[in-house]
A and B are shown apart, each in its own frame.
Chain A
Amino acid sequence: MRIGRRTLLALGMAATLAACTEDATAPGKCPAFCPPGQVQVVDTILHVISRDSSFTGYVQPDSAQVMLAANAFGIDSRPIFVMAPVGTRVLLNPKGSDTTTVAPTSIDSATLVLVIDRRDTLASNLRISLYRMPLNIDRNSTLSGLAGPFTDSLIRTMNVDSVFKLPAGVDSTAGDSVAAVDSTRIPVKVKITLDSAQARFIAADSGRSAFGIRVTADSLASVAFDSHGPVLTWWATYDSSGTAVHRLMAIADAVFSSFVSNAASPTLDSNLVIGGVPSARALLRFAIPRAIRDSAQVVRATLYLVPVTAPVGVPSDSVVITFSRVSTDIGAKSPCVPSALGSGCLPLGDSAFVVSASAPMGQTDTIATDITQIVRGWAVDTVAPQTLMVRQLPEGGNLVYLRVYSSRSAFRPALHLTYVPRYSFGNP
């Protein structure tokens, strides 16, 4: 009997512990066996954007991430850059104990490396013409002011497409090469070899040199060079105990990079302007009804912007604009929500803070942008300004700008909201 009790106790406790699980979800047979309330969905278009405005003069050509080269659709844009001065003396035997530097007996050649960030793959016979520029070019230089050097100072021309199609992208005769940067084969690294006459090392200037670039193609000649990309490598001949040796002399980076063009700067009017050079930005201020923002849950929010005119340019130059939340609304100088890791704004990737949209060339279609996570973020942080900073991506990196209707026009911006109103749990 004693064993029986213990066995019974063990079985009972085991059964009790095994029973401590829960699965309470069953298919609902409504309305008979469901709670009385129903989850509703409301879909509405609201013109809740007000006090929107544009500001211009932000990113100048010399501050842009890219140097724009274009020769299409009546736009002529030409990169200009100045390479840093370099020293000429080198250690002929850097691995040994000899620390004596030697001056070159002659400058042999130089290679200029350029990185193309953006180009239209449909452009054929894309050619780069390299010009020598005066050393005093700066941010105030203009296309007309540099007409002379761009006319009589051609150094050489390289056909990028032709070289890119060669095996390994190398022109062994001229010493040029074109290599893809990534698998998309759109960004490419271009190496142009210059002989001593073309490179023209002037010792009085410590090799400081300035260049300008024109691009031509059968069509769609529009290229964006990386502003930080130009690298000039000097090669020279040295006397090594009576023997002439060929050595790398120095590597120079660009100390100034910009571009000059005949493109008109974006002008402000009653509508909103985004992009161009110098770049323009727009501020969109939302006034979402508190009944929606605080009590409902937004499941989808789409922002509609209507272009005033279609942007004109090569397809690869489509206007990409970003919508960034600002951390505080102080007008034109409103800072965007900063990146925790860097000094700039949050990059694309976190759709709760920044999203992007594209305006294709030649089309005036309404630009629809999903800002669901941003609007939901405003519901969570009710003291955050309901303001979006609209900028071009990359800012200052496109001569084409976008002009969209403002809240003061008939085709004003609209917010298409789909939301779930507060659920009424009903009587118990």
Chain B
Amino acid sequence: MRRVTTWCVLMVAGVNALAAQDSQFGIRGLGAPGTFASVRAWATGGAFAPFDGMSAVADASLTEVVRLTAAATEVSDYRTVNDGTNSSSLRSSRFPMLQVAGPVVGHLVIGGGFSTYLYRSYSVRVPGSVVIRGVPESYVDELGSDGAVTDLRLAAAWQFSPRLSVGGGLHILTGSSSLTATRLFTDSAVYKNASQTDQESYDGFGLSLSVLAAPASGVRVTAFLQSYNHLRAVVNGFQNAQNELPTTLGGAVQWSVTPEVKLAGSITHANWSVASATGTAFNTTNWAVGGELGRAVPFRIGVRGGQMPFGPGPSAPTQFGISAGTGFTFSQGRGILDFGIEHLRRTGGGLTENGWNLLAGLTVRP
């Protein structure tokens, strides 16, 4: 019980530790969607996430957790952003997910934790000039946001039989961003700088349902649904915006070719276009294919692709990633360290992002 309490404290503390930048494609919209995948699943391109109890994609997969387990994820990304004129290198670190789960009674498994729903960290520098008092004055605007929308999940799964599990969850969207807008005049001796900082907080609510079946030996399929009502943004106590959020439908299949060779594929669709009435949000379809070879020190590999929900052009930006990773156990299997690396490319609206994600995950089974 004490260990569970410790993990709960760490989980709550972790909500405030979110700090990230994920994509320039989230600046103009609500943000860049999170992956909801543990490091193990992320290294397979996310294809294993619907079957991973430590991922927050399909609640039914909680039945994979046979003892109290907690997992945390750390991601560092190094990106190069090229808009056709300028190229800049960015880097950031974040802790996008922490999950705790364990069987309670019978075949009931309860789990929960937080995961990043939308990344909202960015900072852009915009130079310009304005005529003041008849004289052109050069300036640089720095507009930034540091924060995220976090999905707090409480889920449960019931294994009706070895071939069928059902899960459901409640989701509370929370989190905040520190927003800054600064104008720096080049002639700072004459014109003083102006800087404004506000805190924007978010709230929303969602439900999730999923089913996990094993129709044949070594084959598992899952279907899942996540639906949120809306995202409300509040600045200084006043509602700044309210945007509808999508319903996500997905399915996945996993094939254990041998005990040491597993393959999986998944596909999701989200109607993100409801989030914006101005046509800057697009429905997205994303897919992933991956595999895991070996058991003691497995080798994982995967690819994923699809669309990003927000972009300036007539169509949704696209993304494609290749990932790999491994992991190993220690302390008689009570701890697992997973590492992964992903190369991700995102394009759209004349902008290209190329970057690497370094993944590190810690799973503890006390």
Contact = CB atoms under 8 A, between A and B. Distances in A.
A16 B328 CA distance: 16
Interface string B174-218: 000101010101000011111110101010000000000000000
**Chain A, interface residues (CB within 8 Å), range:** 35 or more
Label chain B's interface by main secondary structure: strand
With most chain A CB atoms within 10 A of its CB, the pick from B27, B31, B328, B360 is B27
A26 interface: yes
A427 B240 contact: yes
Nearest to A373: B192
Contacts of B145: 35
Interface stretch (B83-91, B153-161, B246-254, B262-270): B83-91
A428 B202 contact: yes
Given A28-B143, A39-B141, A297-B196, A33 B90 contact: no
Contacts of B124: 25-28, 30, 33-35
Contacts, number: 171
A425 B181 contact: yes
Nearest to A423: B181
Contacts of B30: 428
A95 interface: no
Interface in A1-30: 4-5, 8-9, 12, 15-16, 19-30
A20 B350 CA distance: 30
B241 interface: yes
Contacts of B25: 33
Contacts of A420: 183, 194, 196
Contacts of A26: 24, 81, 86, 88, 90, 122-125
Contacts of A33: 24-25, 27-28, 83, 124, 312, 349, 351
Contact of B192 (A5, A15, A24, A372): A372
B93 A25 contact: no
A24 B143 CA distance: 11
A43 interface: yes
Contacts of B130: 41
A22 B19 contact: yes
B229 interface: no
B86 A297 contact: no
Contacts of B88: 25-27
Contacts of B193: 299
B35 interface: no
A208 interface: no
Interface of A: 4-5, 8-9, 12, 15-16, 19-39, 41, 43, 297-300, 372-373, 376, 416, 418-420, 422-423, 425-428
10 contacts: A16-B358, A25-B124, A27-B86, A27-B88, A29-B86, A41-B132, A41-B183, A300-B191, A418-B132, A428-B240
Given A5-B297, A26-B123, A43-B132, 17 more contacts: A8-B328, A12-B339, A19-B358, A21-B91, A22-B21, A22-B91, A22-B92, A25-B88, A25-B124, A26-B90, A33-B28, A35-B124, A37-B143, A297-B196, A422-B196, A423-B196, A427-B240
Interface of B: 19, 21, 24-25, 27-28, 30-31, 74, 76, 81, 83, 85-86, 88-93, 120-126, 130, 132-133, 141-146, 177, 179, 181, 183, 185, 190-196, 198, 200, 202, 231, 233, 235, 240-241, 243, 297, 312, 326, 328, 330, 337, 339, 349-351, 358, 360
